[in-house]
């Protein structure tokens, strides 16, 4: 099972100078290759691939004004070109937008493969560096595991992180349990389970919003290029780090608990990208990190031998009565509790939705039934199909 552990490290002045030069060279090579590929397409309608950009890198190193590219390891430069190729592949298949140029103030990263670092006595020494990196080992890597890839990152706040990827052979499935659960994601409650539990939403951004807004106002008033602006930028970055760290810590603890306690977990396949287009709810949805919750549940279930099921996003989980199956025509967001007009049972909107999600997920896992009934299709789409041609 492939895993990656992330650690903070505190480089010496010599190491920091080398790493900053490496990040700068990676950024330069990436941006030049992106420019060449874009220019080739607009001027000649030619597609330039990884092999051509790799040949360009060899020629760039021979140029006098770019001779400093030889002072750093060549592996991160080649990995940067591979990442650019992946970005273009994602763009052509429609998974991502057109690649952007990298900027200096965002920090950056450099990836080292096995040929560009040493793993000895449980210490890591990267290429062109004489001493191992002073890593703060917050947790030890499993015995017998050797790193396959090392990625060094610089955060805009000035923090250094190293991500170590390795094959972990010690991961074992958790003991089986007969508990199954359906999860309905929300804003007022981060998630609601089919057994009636409601997990409150910490709203990490809202806690620090006033301080962040004040720091951003201070930043925008500073003169560009001044030292005071750089200090203000670091303050803003530190607040963002605080928000990110607290959110990540909470989500990891929550998803790990859910995976440990349940054998089967069912969630909705939400289109978060489309939902954040609603400007009134975009900030709250982004702060809740629904996509990150489902991502963590997915890979942790795979690690520990649990069943992870996603149902169709169009399944009417909120409008369907979990007792008799009756579907109401409309269910505005302001309606948090409702009575079924067919059987008269009183429902909590979120708990009812989580029960329906669980039932639909179990139906999919057992018999492969469809979870998108005809009633869930929009009235507009049905009307368009029935409209006679003129």
Catalytic residue among 184, 195, 261, 374: 184
User: From CA 90, how far away is CA 94, in angstroms rounded?
Assistant: 6
Burial of 24 (0-12, 13-18, 19+ CB in 10 A): middle
Catalytic residue among 268, 310, 312, 337: 268
CA distances from 81 to 26, 192, 196, 327, 362 (A): 9, 43, 50, 52, 44
User: From CA 66, how far away is CA 379, in angstroms rounded?
Assistant: 62
Known active-site residue 350? yes
Known active-site residue 268? yes
Query: Judging by DSSP bridges, how do beta strands 264-268 and 180-185 pair with one another?
Result: parallel
With residues binned 3-state (H G I as helix, E B as strand, rest as coil), the percentages for the chain, rounded to 5, are 50, 20, 35
User: From CA 67, how far away is CA 91, in angstroms rounded?
Assistant: 32
Catalytic residue among 65, 71, 350, 374: 350
The number of C-alpha atoms within 13 Å of 282 and in the hemisphere containing its C-beta is 7
**DSSP secondary structure letters along 141-157:** PPTT--EEEEEEEE-TT
Q: For residue 229, what are its two tokens?
A: 């602006």
- Beta carbons of 86 and 111 less than 8 angstroms apart: no
- How far out from the chain centre does Cα 349 lie? 29
DSSP code at position 103: -
- Beta carbons of 265 and 258 less than 8 angstroms apart: yes
User: From CA 320, how far away is CA 10, in angstroms rounded?
Assistant: 55
CA distances from 155 to 133, 152, 296 (A): 17, 10, 23
Active-site residues: which are they?
184, 268, 350
């Amino acid at each position: 099972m492939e895993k990656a552990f992330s650690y903070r490290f505190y480089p010496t002045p010599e190491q920091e100078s080398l790493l900053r030069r490496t990040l700068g060279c990676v950024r330069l090579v990436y941006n030049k290759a992106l420019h060449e590929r874009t220019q080739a397409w607009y001027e000649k309608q030619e597609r330039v691939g990884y092999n051509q950009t790799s040949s360009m890198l060899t020629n760039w190193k021979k140029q006098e004004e770019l001779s400093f590219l030889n002072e750093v390891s060549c592996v991160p430069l080649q990995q940067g070109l591979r990442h650019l190729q992946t970005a273009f592949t994602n763009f052509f298949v429609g998974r991502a937008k057109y690649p952007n140029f990298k900027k200096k103030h965002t920090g950056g990263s450099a990836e080292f493969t096995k040929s560009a670092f040493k793993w000895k006595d449980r210490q890591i020494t990267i290429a062109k560096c004489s001493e191992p990196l002073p890593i703060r080992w917050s947790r030890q890597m499993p015995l017998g595991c050797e790193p396959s890839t090392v990625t060094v990152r610089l955060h805009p706040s000035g923090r250094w992180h190293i991500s170590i990827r390795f094959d972990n052979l010690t991961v074992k499935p958790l003991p089986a349990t007969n508990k199954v659960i359906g999860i309905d994601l929300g804003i007022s409650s981060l998630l609601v389970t089919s057994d009636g539990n409601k997990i409150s939403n910490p709203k990490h951004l809202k806690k620090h919003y006033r301080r962040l807004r004040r720091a951003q106002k201070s930043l925008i008033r500073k003169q560009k290029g001044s030292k005071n602006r750089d200090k203000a930028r670091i303050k803003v970055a530190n607040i963002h780090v605080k928000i990110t760290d607290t959110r990540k810590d909470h989500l990891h603890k929550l998803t790990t608990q859910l995976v440990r306690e349940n054998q089967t977990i069912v969630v909705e396949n939400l289109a978060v990208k489309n939902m954040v287009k609603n400007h009134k709810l975009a900030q709250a949805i982004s702060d809740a990190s629904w996509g990150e919750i489902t991502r963590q549940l997915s890979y942790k279930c795979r690690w520990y031998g649990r069943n992870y099921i996603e149902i169709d996003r169009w399944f009417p989980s909120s409008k369907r009565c979990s007792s008799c199956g009756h579907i109401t025509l409309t269910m505005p967001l302001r309606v948090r509790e409702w009575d079924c007009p067919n059987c008269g049972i009183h429902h909590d909107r979120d708990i009812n939705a989580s029960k329906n999600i669980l039932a639909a997920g179990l139906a999919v896992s057992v018999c492969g039934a469809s979870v998108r009934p005809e009633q869930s299709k929009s009235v507009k789409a049905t009307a368009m199909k029935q409209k006679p041609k003129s």
